[in-house]
Amino acid sequence: MSKARTVLIVDDEIQMRRTLGAALRGQSYEVIEAATGTDGLLKVASRSPRMVLLDLGLPDMDGIEVVRRIRAQGDVPIIVISVRNDEHNQVLALDSGANDYITKPVREAAFLARVRAVLRSVEPHRKESAAFVVGALRIDPTQTRAWVRGIEVKLTRTEFRLLSALMHEAGRVVTHQQLLRQVWGANQSHEIQYLRVYMKQLREKIEREPARPEFLLTSPGVGYRIKIAD
């Protein structure tokens, strides 16, 4: 079994494991399963899956703790799939290291698209000497330059770091705290208003209509994401 196509499903509901497993196998993924957090952690360590799909309501430990322990072991991508649809749990899971958060019930086509998007986002990026492209946005990390629809826009270094952080996670929500830590450092991780000011400036430079953004989308109460073209 190739770990490059192996997905671990950690969920105590047999039917959910069967449903997700069938969808994944239909796309030629190999699937392994665990019904508890403990077994899931063991299989992450022993089987090195390409991705983990994780329920939060596990019988032996809370899924957030499982996210933290998996992330402490390495950088395998994690998608939380849970009935908990409140903002608090979503932010907590993403801040703890999850790459994405899907609420149940799961719609197969959208689920598989999210799996593909997360796998794309964590693939090794091209060498820093090459430009990085997401749709109509393009950046060159070596020269701190950015283009929108082929037209160069002048960004400050901070604006460039913010855009770069979002582009490298294209398609998924990056929380306020993650962006603040990545762009400004740990000491600024709670200054959300600071982030909003820079996001407003960035939108004014790259959006046709800053009040109706095409690229830099807001996830209310959670963070921001770069939209991937449909």
| List of domains in the chain | 3-122 (3.40.50.2300), 132-226 (1.10.10.10)
Inter-residue contact 194 to 180 (CB < 8 Å): yes
**What percentage of the chain reaches a pLDDT higher than 90?**
57
Would you say 63 and 101 are in contact if contact means Cβ atoms under 8 Å apart?
A: no
Helix (H, G, I), strand (E, B) or coil at 162: helix
Question: Can you tell me the mean pLDDT for 48-61?
Answer: 95
Per-residue pLDDT at 201: 93
Q: Edge-to-edge strands of the sheet including 51-54?
A: 30-34, 6-10, 51-54, 78-82, 100-103
The pLDDT of residue 229 is above 50: yes
For residue 126, pLDDT over 60 is answered with no
Q: What is the bridge-based pairing of β-strands 137-140 and 216-219?
A: unpaired
The residues pairing with 32 across neighbouring beta strands, listed in sequence order, are 8
Is pLDDT larger for residue 124 or for residue 11? 11
Q: Is the pLDDT of residue 209 over 60?
A: yes
